[in-house]
Amino acid sequence: MEHTAQDPHERPFFAPSGKGGLASWIFSTDHKRIGLLYLGLIMLMFSVAVVLGLLLRLKLMTPGNTLLTPQQYNAIFTLHGVIMVFMVVIPSIPASFGNIFLPLHIGANDVSFPRLNNFSWWLYVTGLVLALVSIFTGNGPPDTGWTFYVPFSEHTTTNVSIAVIAVFVLGFSSILTGLNFITTVHRLRTPGMTWRKLPLFVWSLYATGWIQVLATPILGITALLIFSERVLHLGLFDPGRGGDPLLYQHLFWIYSHPAVYIMILPAMGVISEIIPVFSRKPVFGYNMIAFSSLAIAFAGSLVWAHHMFTSGMSDNAVLLFSFLTFVVAIPSAIKVFNWLSTMYKGSISLDPPLLFSLGFILMFSIGGLTGLVLGSAGTDIHVHDTYFVVAHFHYVIFGGTGLGMFAAMHYWFPKVFGRMYDHTRAFWSFWIILLGMNVLYFPMFVMGLQGMPRRYYDYLPQYAPLQMVSTWGSWILAVGLILMFHNLYRGCRYGPVATKNPWGGATLEWTLPTPLPAEAFYGDPVAPEPYDYKGVNPDG
């Protein structure tokens, strides 16, 4: 260690030690700094994609040729999807809060491979830069949708080649994070931290890590294949030369369905941490919540073709994948029931983190149940590729993962930044966001059932009223988001100094000073019972 004035066990991790500056961040191997770097970039990309989404809604407010040209519209929904999926939602919770709290939860001072951790952040940055290049060079941004379906993606003259390489690099970054987390959980648990004492957040990240490692390579090869189809013209998916475009869809969804569990599992882990703390009760059904994470990871890798019911696949395959899709709903429902049972007869304090978690449960339940409408082969024929799908996955991904991310931000904020945000504003921002989301997305269920296809530039007059309502919803949501980020920003600049354990959590991070110190533990800490609140009380 350098001879700094302050003990690294007391100095906040973000305070400079000796030589500070940018290099001490971007080349940092400290999991907390890397987590914060991720958080910053993810939020930046989130804002960009939100603005794109608002633009789409603004265009769709009225039918006909307004505001955007069709080509611009195609490019913007592609960018919105690519940015949100690969640069925001996939890394969201694991790369930011997972990085910061996974080691602390198991009593370790860092991940197993700190330099690899820094390298995956750099890969993430490289992916962002490549994506930017694909927007501003060549024949303009890709217009294929985030799914890059062949044959269109092979023939469009827009910048798909660079975009898929960006996806490849981002996937690599995600793999390395998952690999790092799995190894960390196996190797760095403090003595006494048995598998059944692991916080559920760690369990969820562990399951996520396996999906990242096992599913993402298929995305990698899919991206490489698109690239080589475009550049080398191998013709592997070209029906004219005997290729089969359906095989592309299989490859794509073999990754991209498990990917939705990369998106949602960490958020479920966050919720499993927050609910017991704010109910002052041990989590109900610890074993089942932990096990269902693994069950989701496993079963979730067997259902990909439910995205292809209308593609002309064999009926046997349709029935099988439909059945498996119903199976995967079971472990998700187990979690929801366990959370509710945890709250039952608890001593509930409705603080902002819990509020966002409840929002998660509501939105995830709506999104999950409508997912079954899509998963059952008969009804899917009716709503396939309509706004119903768009509504479904925005409920799950934004209402679920998004609110889970916001819950995590409000829960760990004081621990990371050492200050507290304003609770009243947090309440208001939550309710406005929740209202906005529902006004924005619920009409899409209705429009979808009425047959409004997704990704269309124009629509029939009969959809005009609901399209209008949906756009209003996007404005409400934007106001809520601005309020929330403003509140958090104010909190970290001027908020009152936070105490060590403001919520009364029993996991290890709450035994550390606030804000988190550069070096977390002296030696190996004693493994606590993570959900035993006897003798653990909120400060003040």
Rounded-to-integer distance, Cα 28 and Cα 258, Å: 31
SS3 of residue 517 by DSSP: strand
SS3 of residue 234 by DSSP: coil
Rounded-to-integer distance, Cα 333 and Cα 268, Å: 11
Structure-block tokens of residue 337: 């029931």
Report the site for another protein in 247-276 (rule: CB under 8 A). Answer: 247, 250-251, 254
Among 37, 82, 123, 179, binds another protein (CB under 8 A): 179
Rounded-to-integer distance, Cα 192 and Cα 197, Å: 8
Nearest to 118 by CA among 42, 53, 31: 31
Report the site for another protein in 209-228 (rule: CB under 8 A). Answer: 213-214, 216-218, 220-222, 224-225, 228
Structure-block tokens of residue 438: 């529902």
Among 70, 192, 235, 465, binds another protein (CB under 8 A): 235
Residue 175 sits in the site that holds another protein (CB under 8 A): yes
* Minimum distance from residue 486 beta carbon to another protein (Å): 32
126 binding partner (options another protein, Cu ion, none; Cβ < 5 to 8 Å by kind): none
* Minimum distance from residue 239 beta carbon to another protein (Å): 9
In angstroms, the Cα distances linking 174 to 125, 216, 498 are: 12, 8, 33
DSSP 453: B
Residue 173 sits in the site that holds another protein (CB under 8 A): no
**Cis before 515? omega within 30:** yes
Of residues 389 and 508, the one with the C-beta less far from Cu ion: 389
DSSP string, 133-167: HHHHSTT-S--S-TT--TTHHHH--SSHHHHHHHH
Residue 392 sits in the site that holds Cu ion (CB under 5 A): no
Of residues 13 and 459, the one with the C-beta less far from another protein: 13
* Minimum distance from residue 363 beta carbon to another protein (Å): 33
* Minimum distance from residue 194 beta carbon to another protein (Å): 19
Rounded-to-integer distance, Cα 242 and Cα 137, Å: 33
Residue 62 sits in the site that holds another protein (CB under 8 A): no
Among 243, 352, 353, 525, binds another protein (CB under 8 A): 243
Contact between 207 and 265 under an 8 Å Cβ cutoff? The reply is yes
257 binding partner (options Cu ion, another protein, none; Cβ < 5 to 8 Å by kind): Cu ion
Residue 382 sits in the site that holds another protein (CB under 8 A): no
Report the site for another protein in 389-448 (rule: CB under 8 A). Answer: none
Report the site for another protein in 7-46 (rule: CB under 8 A). Answer: 8, 17, 19, 23-24, 27-30, 33
Rounded-to-integer distance, Cα 353 and Cα 272, Å: 12
Number of H helices, E strands in the chain: 18, 0
Own/partner contacts of 505-511, CB < 8 Å, gap of 24 or more, are 505/273, 505/277, 505/536, 506/277, 506/530, 506/531, 506/532, 506/533, 506/536, 507/105, 507/199, 507/201, 507/273, 508/104, 508/105, 508/106, 508/107, 509/101, 509/104, 509/105, 509/412, 509/415, 510/415, 510/536
Residue 242 sits in the site that holds another protein (CB under 8 A): yes
241 binding partner (options Cu ion, another protein, none; Cβ < 5 to 8 Å by kind): another protein
Read off φ and ψ for residue 15, nearest 5 degrees: -80, 140
* Binding-site size, another protein (CB under 8 A): 50
Of residues 330 and 350, the one with the C-beta less far from Cu ion: 330
Residue 233 sits in the site that holds another protein (CB under 8 A): yes
Residue 520 sits in the site that holds another protein (CB under 8 A): no
Residue 504 sits in the site that holds another protein (CB under 8 A): no
Residue 103 sits in the site that holds another protein (CB under 8 A): no
Binding mask 253-282 for Cu ion (x = CB under 5 A): ----x-------------------------
Q: For binding to another protein (CB under 8 A), which residues are involved? A: 1-2, 8, 17, 19, 23-24, 27-30, 33, 112-113, 115-116, 118, 175, 179-180, 182-183, 186-188, 213-214, 216-218, 220-222, 224-225, 228, 232-236, 241-244, 247, 250-251, 254, 518
